[in-house]
Structure 1
Amino acid sequence: MPKDTVVNYVNLVEWPAVAWDNWDGVAKLTGDSAHCMPIYRDEGVNHGTIDGCILADALKSAADGLVTPQQAVQDYEADMRLRGKEAVDVSHQACLDAHDYREINTVGSIAPLGKKNV
C-alpha cells in the first residue's frame, strides 16, 4: 500500500439493551434503538420485527385486561433486554471471528478463501 494512502477508522458501536426511563410505560424502544449491534450477523431488522411483535402481544394482553399497561411494557422490556444482549454478544463474536486473520484461511465457513487443512 502506498505510504500516502488514507486509512479511515471505522468505529462500530455495540449497545446492549440497558434499563431506561420508559415514563411509566409510555415510551418504548425496539430494534436498534434498544440494542444496537455490529452488522456481522445481519439480523438487526429481524430483531426490530420480533421486538415489535412481542410488544404488540404485550400491549394486547394489557388491552384484554390480563396485565396493566405498565406491566406489559416491563415484561416486554425484560424479554427484549435479555434477547438483545444475547444477540449483541453473538454479533460481537462474529465480528471478532471475521477479523481473526490467523484462522480465516483454515477454519470455519470462510475457509474457502484460503487453503484448507486436509
Structure 2
Amino acid sequence: MNGRDIYRAALAQMGEPLTSEADYEEDVVLGKLNIMLPNLFVVNNLMRETRGKERMENIPVLTSLDAEQIGYEDEIERTVLPFGLAAILLLDDEEDNKASFCNNKYYEAIRELQCVPKRAIEDVY
C-alpha cells in the first residue's frame, strides 16, 4: 500500500467519504504518516523475523502519498496505520470521542501483532 491507500482507509475508519480527501492538506497527511512509520518499525521487523523474512534495514520515508509502497507487513498497512492516522486526523478536527476510539484500536492492533520470533530450543544436556 502507498500513503494514499492508507489515507483512504483512515477516512473510511473515520466514516468520511473519499471526497473528504480535499479537507486535509496532503503535506500534513504525508508528514503524519512519516512520523508514524518509525514507531512501527520494530513491530514490523519482529513480524518479518517471525515469518522467516529479512528484517528491513531502514525506516521508510514517503516523499508523496502516491509514489512508493511503504513495504511494511500487510496487517500493519491495512489495520494499524489507518487507525493511527484516523486518530490523529480526528484529534485535529477536535472529534475527541472518535479519536479516542481509533487510538484505542491502533494500540490494540499493535498489541495483537507483537509476537516473539520462534527459535529452535537447544538441548544443553
| TM norm. shorter chain > 0.5 | no
* TM-score computed with the length of structure 2 as normaliser: 0.33
Taking structure 1 as the reference length, the TM-score comes to 0.34
Choose between structure 1 and 2 for higher RCO, CA contacts under 8 A separated by at least 6 residues: 2
Tell me which structure has the larger Cα radius of gyration.
1
